[in-house]
Each structure stands twice: as C-alpha cells, then as structure tokens.
Structure 1
Amino acid sequence: MENELLFFPYGSRGLIIKFKKPSVSQIEILSRSFFRDYVVSLFKTDLQDLLLTSDSLTIFFKKPPNKKAIKKNLLNAYDISLSKSIDFEYKHWEIPVCFENNFSSDLLKYFNDDESKTKDYIKRICELELIVQFYGFLPGFCYLIGLPKSMQLKRKAEPTLKVEKGSLAIGGGYAGIYPQSSPGGWHVIGITPIIFFHPKRDPNCFASIGDKFSFKKISIDEYEKASKQNFNKNLPSFNIFNVKD
C-alpha cells in the first residue's frame, strides 16, 4: 500500500499526499473522497483544512504533527478507503442550462460562427454524464470529467475579465460551472439558474465529489423564472444510485 502514496512536507504544519495516478474513474473518485472524510474523522480537532484534487490530498494541521505516526495512520486509512468502495452511493443531478446564443457566444465563436457545429455540440453535451472529480478555483467550482476528446476545447489565449455566475464552461478536458462571477479562461457554452454555492446553505454546495451531472436544455424564459427563486429552493432534481448500478 505504501507505494500507492507519496508524502511530501508542506511547511511545518502541512503534508501533501500524492496518489500514484490521477483519479479518472468514478470508483477512484468516490474512494478518495471517502479517504478525505476518513482523515477528517481520524484527526478531528487537529486539522486546520484539507484540499483534495485529482491526484493529491493536502492536509493542514493546527500545529506541527508527528509525521512518522501520521504517515502510518494515513496508510491504514487509505487501505480502509479502498476496501469501502463497493458500498458507495452517489447522486445524479439534472442541471438545467440555457444555451441561447447570448449565453453560448464563446462556443459559436470557437466554431467560427458555424451554427450547425454549435448546435451539434450542445446536443452532444446534453447526452453526457459527467463526474465531479474535485472542487477548486472558487468555492463551489466543480471540475467535471467525462468529456470525449472530440468535445474538449483548448483554454482561451486571453481570459475573459468577467464570466457570469452560473456559466457552464469548457476548459481542456474539464467542464465546470462558475458559482460566482469571475475572470476565467474557459469557453462559456451556456448558463444555469442553479445556485451552486451559498454560505447560508447547509451544505454550502449541494453536490459531492463523485456525483454525476447531466444537462437539460431550457429556454431563456425558464432560466429567468428559475433565477428568481430563493437559494434554498433553487436546487436541481436528483436520483440516488449505488456505484455498482
């Protein structure tokens, strides 16, 4: 098990755990999410923060830890997380997205104003099931994997100064939804009225690492109506599945 993980110090109170390879399957993603949660329960009040990405888990402790003892505990926790895999459940969320021209102008521009290619891309993305691999960049910004190579779009040469809140965008092999307005270098292909992150909601972000997303095309009228809903009511529909399904 030890060769599955590499440990690197990060200052006096931090520890980076590098996985042997990035998580690419749903079972790997769910397993590492469980590992993160297990680490939280293991060290409890000793933790300052944790950050899980596709290929690492960074742990920040409140005070310098005993790294030798910590390493042994983490290896045991990782072993347990792998054996837990068969019991995982996840939620499949249906995200409403408006793909009207004013919200998908980046996509139209990417295809040199070819409306046929733009419409085909939108049709194809609504047929996909994408997986939440990790969160980063902004609170509630989910990195979604599962795009076929033919649908991956290179990042913009120059970032847009303001990407609107709720924008569904593509950057390389990832899709993501901006939880707030922000500069960004991904290609915006649509917009959702769903509020992905709110500090007064528990949990702040409704989706978990390992969940699946699919996109449902809606009209601009449906988008505007849904945008007026309270953040606690503005949630997408979902179904719960076992990872074996």
Structure 2
Amino acid sequence: MKSTAIVPFKQNNSALTRRPQSQRRGIHSNVLPPAANVAGAIDRYFGINLNALAQMSDQQWAEFADRAREMKRLREVLPILDRHFQELIEGQLEYEQFVQKFLKLGGAAAQKIDKGILDAYLLSLGYNNHLKLMSQQSVQGSQKLNAEFQSAFSLNELDFQTSLKLVQLRRQNRAKQIRERVPNYLKQQQISEQQRRVSQQRKELLTNGTQSQRGGFFGRIGSFFSGW
C-alpha cells in the first residue's frame, strides 16, 4: 500500500552539483534564488509557512480557511469602497474648488466695491467743496446726488450679503448630505453581511451535511485515508 504520510519539502542539490556542467541545461545559480529564500518570502508576504505545514494541527489548518474567508470578504467590498472613496475624495475636491472660486470672485467684487466707495467718497468731498464755491442753488443738486449714491450703495451691500448667505446655505446643505452617507452605508453593509452569513451557513450544511460542522478539510482527508 502506498504511503499517505505528508512530509516536509526538502530541496536536495547534491545530485545537481555532481552532474557535469554540460548536463545542467537552463539552470543558473546566479538566476534562480534558493528555495529557502522563496519559502521565506511566501511566509513574509502571505503568512504561509510551507516548512511547518506538515506539523500543523487541524486548528492551525482551519485558520487558513478563516483567513481565506476574511480575504474573500475584503475582496468583495473593495470595489464598493473604491467607488465610495473616489466619490468622497472627488466630491470634497470639487466642493473646495467651488468655495475657492466664489471666495476669489467675492473678494475681487469686494475690492471693486470698496474702491467704488472710496472714489465716490473722494468725489463727494471734491464736489462738496465745489458746491461750497457755488451758489445756494447747487445745494439741492448735491443732496440729490448723495441720496442716489446712498441708495445704490445700500443695494450693492444687500446684494453682496445675500450672495454670501446663499453660498453658506449651499455649503451647509452639501455637508449634511455627505455626513448622512456614512451611517446609511454602514447599516446597509450590516444587513448584507447578516444575509451573507445565513446563506453561507445554509450552503455549507446542504453541501457537506453535518460533517461540515466537525473538523476541517484536512480532518476529512485524514478520515478518508484511514479507511485504506
């Protein structure tokens, strides 16, 4: 009867080193890394110790199944997270660009308004000095100009303040919408995970019977070979 024992992998290079150089076809010691280095890299990057595999218990082997299930869950959610993260980042970027755009426009408009006020004030001073040199009849004209100026100034100020208020309200509404996404998404993920677990347990039971609730994959292999 053929032996079913699992033995650790060992690379033996003694036969290779005794072969003539002409028979070592396609093998270069300066190209192929030692097996120990490859096994170490597999252990370091993937947490799979090939040298210790044969000595592991059923519980240790079962941990690979747990890790594989967790990795599968992560891979399933990565495309969803990719879309959400891109939406959050791109949305935040567009919002910041939007705010900066109107800050620049508002700042430039405010400077123009201030300059207009200053010009009007200086003009008013010069005109008042001019009116003082004129007859009393020019006083009525000066009052009319001042009244028109105050009206225009008030309307400009009201329009500017209203624009700032509208920008602030749009920002608050957008921020509220963004904050509401996270709890809604988490609740949806929790429901999906519960449904997935129930479906997976039912599939395991229907596929493997009650044996799926005892031991692991390697435990079933051991019981299969023990009947030989």
On whether the aligned pair clears a TM of 0.5, the verdict is no
Which of the two has greater strand per residue? 1
Higher relative CO (Cα under 8 Å, sequence separation at least 6) belongs to 2
Question: Which interval holds the TM-score relative to the shorter structure?
Answer: under 0.3
